[in-house]
Chain A
């Protein structure tokens, strides 16, 4: 019995070490990114780096503003398209669809999450970009194209987390409201959506994180010009595409500047993650 006890303690310790692998990887990534990316930021001047509009790596000019604005525009566009559609799907799945239909739609939406981002980008290039070019004008490769593609790509994130938070509500909420004579839609609008608010907000924030972080699909449809776009039909370069486009041949300070781009992206993502984490933790803490 004693021997078994000691073995169990050893196993427990081993598993504890393994369980820290995710945290350790996160820590190592953080350390490496900052180590590689921050020196140049301070050498070059953080203000010039974040607010400069000229990105000419060959002349040691590293202004990231066009890419920061580009990422923000494209992400905002993706939210405008993705969030309403995502919430509509979530409400239909949880409140309006019969069990049979739901079991048909749900795997399809999960499939949407599995399609590789290069395939989304490719569809953008062969279908969406020519369509925008001929019907709306401009080069086609644009903020609009990137927003639509990203809007579709964040759907699975928004849908699955919203569905989970709607399903987690106590059945009494739904039943009580219906029993008082409210229609299903009134129940959704006045009871369920407000009650599931924090989960829905978390789903939107995580969707935002996905949109900001997406790379390959955006490179293919956004046009990548280093200019602050003036209309949704102008081409745009995001933080992620900036890294991926130039990483292949960058060296020295240029490479450091790309890592610095990565640091900015990393910080934005971590802030979004933490907010999402806190809102959903708040929901758990509320004792529901």
Chain B
């Protein structure tokens, strides 16, 4: 094969094209963040954050939606973390690669690929109607817990695998049982990595709309119990923007969402760096 052009020239051209495409990708990201913050930050103030919405969200702030987001997300994390970390401990410490682990991994991977609207449908039929929880924090939290479970399993598994084997050997040699080794040596060392998965799941829960709108509902009121129907920030933003209720409020809510996501990512990143630095 005779090359059409000198390989060095070709490399230079391709390199320029690939770098341009990468730069464009990053430009899109930066544009989204800057655009939302520039339009949204002027609407943000303490009143906006601390007042309840009134008049369908045209007036007032977004306090009840923040509370609903925190409640639904918190519940999801409380349920998904023990299940996810437990699964990861089993997969890494209590078994070896065999048929059972392959089934478990396949299940988790498939669950990770299921679109959020399916989780929404499922949560609606099981929690809202069959189990009679209604549109509620509880239904929303359970649905989100199922949705983020694969993330927590995968990140915890990687974190536990990252703990040097010698830690376990030493613990055993000092007479520690398997469980003592897991809870007192392995888990504390893997904690930053496990936290990464938890925080990532917090981010996904905060931003989720399709799974939450059919399970937690969209009532604009302060959640008072596990059974109250509430509108989360993302759902509120969606309704404000789609029904054109109030653009300034939509931008303000979007800015809060973006700031929350930025915080989540910074936290994940610094934790991950600490974890990597510790063991390499």
Contacts and interface: CB of A to CB of B under 8 A. Distances in A.
B111 A15 contact: no
B208 A116 contact: yes
Main secondary structure of the interface of A (DSSP, over half): helix
Interface string A111-122: 110111111111
A92 B18 CA distance: 7
A108 to B, nearest CB: 6
A119 B36 contact: yes
Interface of B: 7-8, 10-11, 14-15, 17-19, 21-22, 24-26, 28-30, 32-33, 35-36, 82-83, 86-87, 89-91, 94-95, 100, 103-104, 106-111, 113-122, 124-126, 146, 149-150, 153, 177-179, 200, 203-204, 206-210, 213-214, 234, 237-238, 241-242, 250, 254, 257-258, 261-262, 264-265, 268-269
Contacts of B241: 118, 121-122, 125, 220
B25 A26 contact: no
A247 B33 CA distance: 31
A33 B122 contact: yes
A22 B118 contact: no
A15 to B, nearest CB: 4
A266 interface: yes
Contacts of B206: 116
A118 B87 CA distance: 31
A38 to B, nearest CB: 13
Contacts, number: 242
A118 B237 contact: yes
18 contacts: A12-B94, A22-B107, A28-B122, A28-B126, A29-B122, A89-B22, A89-B25, A109-B25, A111-B265, A112-B25, A115-B33, A115-B207, A119-B237, A184-B11, A244-B120, A259-B125, A269-B115, A272-B113
B21 A88 contact: yes
Contact of A244 (B35, B104, B210): B210
Main secondary structure of the interface of B (DSSP, over half): helix
A26 B110 contact: yes
Contacts of B25: 85, 89, 109, 112, 152, 155
Query: Which of A18, A114, A118, A122 has the largest count of B CB atoms less than 10 A from its CB?
Result: A118
Nearest to A272: B113
A118 B234 contact: yes
A107 interface: yes
